[in-house]
């Protein structure tokens, strides 16, 4: 008895926990295949047909309530399983119909009898017509349309993958997302392509199922006539009526769930991804315009007044549309009054004596927003911009080597409602506008079509862009646009300006905090150097000089080692910076040319090189004519490098690097000037453009 109880508990244990989920698929496949071979009693057929109908309705409702296609990523597999289930039931019911059909209309179960008698009134001619119409609707309309949408969706998804990957990489590089989030978003892009590709193939299952259902109906009718007349001695009319009704009931009980599943497939592939399910999309967009409702009511009402028309039906529908239009208009007026209401004016404080608390210290970094952008920075409204700014500071600290000051955010009623202003030490360094609820589609230069929307410019890099509605987001990505939301626009602009003004953000306090951080790991290195050999001010100027030329200061060990070696004899901060750059040469080169690829750079003509060295030796500076020629030809060489997708980098002799870097930085900030001595010996240099000049 104990052994028997153990065997009875074993299936229950297997079905508990995570293991049961892994058994569902194999068990279901085995049961489906078994139904094709093993005879089933009528009662079990009734249960399975009812389960098939319930499953199809469940799949349709799940597809209606999904927000995006990937929320139901298992749909292609579900489509395959439901198709196999219907075909297995057809095989099982065909066996029962042909073997027991002569006994009466309930030979194959009550479900088939109900579909064969009550739904078509017991008339096999009507049943055949209804069955054929259902097959045509399923095969020619729904399945064909859903398959075409899935095919086009798969192609467009594959075409949009490079743009989506670029957008993910841009967010990762800007510090807006972490590596885990980027990896998850890349996986979603790949899953989306796999899903539409699977749907393109899975739609063929339903099409084949429709054809199989038609053939099974014909086989059941012909086979039933042969079996009834030849084996059971039935008359031809009786056999025709009995087996035809059974075949029609069997076909209808399979085709109606097939039609429901096909509709679910169409809903899944035809929906546009938004934050709403299909039901809310339909009601929110189809009945959103009161003018459409009023005009439709007018047309229907006029048709209802025509003599001979069903006046009551038309007038009831017209009245309902008028009532619905009035409700929609009232709601729109209420929302418009709330949106147009002026922002609350601050209550004036009582006049008091001035104190030191009234002295407002200037923030190192500030962000001022108009009142329509408050939702982006309000924690109570789940403002995304706050989290993005935190990610920017963290990413900057990891990449550059120090922590920028906290960004102080304020609302400013004096600027435009959608505007924002970025300030550095109280002085404006950038401004722009953002539209909450809309998306900015940035044109990287290779888009395939235009989009409706408000023309603008990307505030960070000046690229042409368009503010578009959320419904056009996926279409814009397919066309090749880089699509970002309002929070990302502001965060990217702020991140760009922080990198651009990194040297100004590195104050004495930040340098001291950086030294305190290093002291925890190497106390002797810092204690012997600062302030005994190098003052804090000198160290700050050296670090600022590196940041001005976009050189990260993460490798503080190397920087302090160079200062400890040369600071006792070298006091000029420019020369100290050059010595540090030589020590950081490998990192600087790796930053500009990742990997081990060949360095394709801009070089100087030999004659120009000699003239510049002579000017440097004489300490007379560059003559105006030489400076103009140098600037013009450098700009031309940069344009040539950029056109072929190369980073504009000028490589010169070590004595000329500081002179040319200072001269070209103001007019051509994108150009990086490298010394030949800073490039590791293992890297290969290829000069792809030459700057020539005449004294």
> Residue 625 — pLDDT band, cuts 50, 70, 90?
confident
Q: Which tops the pLDDT comparison, 154 or 656?
A: 656
Contact call for residues 193 and 71 (beta carbons, < 8 A): no
DSSP codes joined into one string, 528-543: HHTTTTS-HHHHHHHH
Bridge partners (DSSP) of residue 369 are: 411, 420
Question: What is the structure's pLDDT at 421?
Answer: 94
Question: What is the structure's pLDDT at 558?
Answer: 93
Three-state SS for 691?
strand
* pLDDT per residue as tens digits for the range 69-102: 677 777 777 777 777 887 787 777 777 777 776 6
Q: What is the mean pLDDT of residues 673-692?
A: 91
Question: What is the structure's pLDDT at 93?
Answer: 75
Lowest model confidence (mean pLDDT) among 246-260, 471-485, 654-668 = 246-260
* pLDDT per residue as tens digits for the range 441-490: 999 888 888 899 999 999 988 889 999 998 899 889 888 899 999 999 99
Residues 6+ apart with CB under 8 A from 101: 107, 108, 224, 227, 228, 242, 243, 246
Question: What is the structure's pLDDT at 67?
Answer: 73
Q: Which two tokens stand for residue 693?
A: 């000049």
Among residues 170, 165, 169, 226, which one has the least CA distance to residue 192? 165
First to last CA, the chain: 108
> Residue 342 — pLDDT band, cuts 50, 70, 90?
low
CB atoms within 10 A of CB 6: 10
Residues 6+ apart with CB under 8 A from 575: none
Is 13's pLDDT higher than 70?
Answer: no
Q: pTM of this prediction?
A: 0.57
Residues 6+ apart with CB under 8 A from 347: none
Question: What is the structure's pLDDT at 418?
Answer: 92
Give the mean pLDDT of the chain: 79
Question: What is the structure's pLDDT at 530?
Answer: 85
> Residue 355 — pLDDT band, cuts 50, 70, 90?
confident
Q: Which tops the pLDDT comparison, 557 or 63?
A: 557
Contact call for residues 106 and 113 (beta carbons, < 8 A): yes
Is 11's pLDDT higher than 90?
Answer: no
Q: Which tops the pLDDT comparison, 52 or 600?
A: 600
Q: What is the mean pLDDT of residues 4-32?
A: 55
Question: What is the structure's pLDDT at 124?
Answer: 61
| Percent above pLDDT 70 for the chain | 78
Among residues 582, 551, 559, which one has the least CA distance to residue 676? 582
Question: What is the structure's pLDDT at 218?
Answer: 76
Is 629's pLDDT higher than 60?
Answer: yes
Is 15's pLDDT higher than 50?
Answer: no
């Amino acid at each position: 008895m104990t052994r028997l109880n153990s065997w009875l508990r074993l299936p229950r244990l297997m079905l508990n926990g995570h293991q049961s989920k892994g058994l569902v698929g194999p068990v279901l496949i085995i049961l489906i295949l078994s139904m094709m071979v093993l005879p089933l009693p009528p009662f079990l057929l009734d249960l399975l047909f009812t389960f098939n109908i319930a499953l199809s309705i469940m799949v349709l409702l799940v597809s209606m309530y999904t927000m995006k296609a990937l929320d139901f990523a298992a749909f292609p597999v579900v489509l395959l399983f439901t198709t196999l289930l219907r075909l297995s039931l057809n095989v099982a019911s065909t066996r029962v119909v042909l073997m027991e059909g002569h006994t009466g209309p309930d030979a194959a179960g009550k479900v088939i009898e109900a579909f064969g008698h009550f739904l078509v009134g017991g008339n096999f001619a009507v049943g055949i017509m209804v069955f054929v119409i259902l097959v045509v609707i399923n095969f020619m309309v729904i399945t064909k349309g859903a398959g075409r949408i899935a095919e086009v969706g798969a192609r467009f998804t594959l075409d949009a993958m490079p743009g989506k990957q670029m957008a993910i990489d841009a967010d990762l590089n800007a510090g807006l997302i972490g590596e885990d989030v980027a990896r998850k978003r890349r996986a979603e892009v790949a899953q989306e392509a796999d899903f539409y590709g699977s749907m393109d193939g899975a739609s063929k299952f339903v099409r084949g199922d429709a054809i199989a259902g038609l053939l099974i109906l014909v086989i059941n009718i012909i086979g039933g006539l042969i079996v009834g007349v030849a084996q059971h001695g039935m008359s031809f009319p009786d056999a025709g009526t009995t087996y035809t009704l059974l075949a029609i009931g069997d076909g209808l009980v399979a085709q109606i769930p097939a039609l429901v599943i096909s509709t679910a497939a169409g809903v899944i592939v035809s929906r546009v991804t938004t934050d709403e399910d299909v039901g809310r999309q339909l009601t929110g967009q189809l009945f959103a315009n009161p003018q459409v409702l009023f005009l439709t009511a007018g047309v229907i009402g006029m048709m209802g007044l025509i003599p001979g028309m069903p006046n009551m039906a038309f007038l009831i529908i017209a009245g309902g549309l008028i009532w619905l239009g009035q409700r929609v208009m009232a709601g729109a007026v209420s929302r418009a009054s709330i949106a147009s209401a002026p922002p609350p004016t601050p209550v004036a404080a009582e006049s008091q004596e001035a104190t030191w608390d009234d002295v407002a210290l200037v923030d190192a970094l500030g962000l001022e927003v108009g009142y329509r952008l408050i939702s982006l920075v309000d924690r109570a409204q789940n403002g995304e911009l706050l989290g993005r700014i935190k990610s920017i500071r963290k990413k900057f600290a990891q990449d550059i080597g120090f922590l920028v000051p906290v960004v102080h955010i304020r609302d400013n009623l004096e600027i435009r409602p959608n505007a924002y202003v970025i300030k550095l030490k109280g002085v404006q360094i950038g401004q722009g506008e953002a539209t909450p609820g809309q998306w900015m589609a940035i044109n990287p230069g290779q888009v395939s079509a235009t989009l409706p929307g408000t023309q603008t410019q990307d505030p960070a890099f000046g690229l042409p862009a368009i503010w578009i509605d959320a419904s056009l987001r996926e279409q814009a990505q397919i066309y090749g646009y880089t699509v970002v939301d309002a929070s990302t626009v502001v965060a990217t602009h702020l991140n760009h300006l922080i990198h651009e003004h990194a040297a100004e953000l590195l104050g004495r306090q930040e340098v001291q905090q950086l030294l305190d951080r290093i002291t925890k790991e190497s106390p002797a290195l810092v204690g012997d150097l600062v302030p005994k050999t190098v003052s804090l001010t000198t160290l700050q100027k050296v670090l600022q000089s590196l940041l001005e030329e976009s050189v990260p200061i993460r490798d503080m060990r190397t920087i302090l080692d160079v200062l400890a070696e040369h600071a006792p004899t070298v006091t000029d901060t420019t020369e100290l910076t050059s010595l540090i750059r030589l020590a950081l040469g490998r990192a600087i080169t790796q930053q500009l040319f990742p990997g081990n690829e060949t360095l394709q750079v801009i070089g100087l003509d030999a004659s120009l090189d000699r003239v510049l060295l002579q000017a440097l030796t004489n300490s007379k500076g560059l003559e105006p004519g030489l400076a103009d020629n140098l600037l013009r030809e450098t700009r031309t060489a940069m344009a040539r490098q950029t056109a072929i997708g190369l980073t504009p980098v000028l490589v010169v002799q070590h004595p000329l690097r500081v002179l040319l870097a200072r001269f070209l930085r103001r007019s051509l900030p994108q150009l990086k000037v490298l010394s030949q001595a800073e490039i590791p010996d293992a890297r290969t240099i290829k000069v792809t453009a030459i700057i020539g000049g005449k004294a």
